[in-house]
Structure 1
Amino acid sequence: MDAKLLARITLEPGKRGGKPCIRGMRITVYDVLGWMASGMPVQEILADYPELEADDIIACLAFAAEREQRISRVAA
């Protein structure tokens, strides 16, 4: 994974319950992924949250992919 992208995701114990956030803001990775999963287009997310950048969205996807890679597999 691109370390520069993943560096956009921050973890702070006192912010949003320690959930992964974007660049120290109060917008979580979960928020962005939830909006995308509900069908909200990236351009609409960026318009509704002008403090976000396109690379923030990509960073959320990269973070989720990285986390998914770490999940243990269950034997069949």
Structure 2
Amino acid sequence: MTLAGFPRISIDPGVCGGRPVVTGTRVRVTDVLEMLAGGASIAEIVADFPYLSEADVQAALGYAAATTDHPVVLAAE
């Protein structure tokens, strides 16, 4: 199933254990993020994985940013 607002990202319990992947591939969002964190450029990722596009990499970044956005709740002292 593709995710609302993220048509290039999908989750399927039968693919990669239900982890978010680039739609139509078995490349997990986490894999893309780890490559970027390791210093790979978008162009290098697309060259290494020709079935991915720059838009796919950007979608993985956008999805990651959206899922880490949450309200900060501080306990009352």
Sort the TM-score into its range (normalised by shorter chain).
0.7 to 0.9
Count of matched residue positions in the alignment of Structure 1 and Structure 2: 71
Higher-Rg structure is 2
Aligned partner of 1:47 in structure 2 is 47
Choose between structure 1 and 2: higher helix proportion: 1
Alignment of 1:1-16 (within 5 A): 3=5, 6-16=6-16
Aligned partner of 1:21 in structure 2 is 21
Superposed CA RMSD in Å reads 1.3
Greater relative contact order (Cα < 8 A, sep 6+): 1
- State how far apart, in whole Å, the 1-side matches of 2:24 and 2:42 are: 20
Q: Which runs of 5+ in 1 are unaligned?
A: none
- State how far apart, in whole Å, the 2-side matches of 1:73 and 1:28 are: 27
- Quote the sequence identity (%): 39
Runs of 4+ that moved beyond 2 A: none
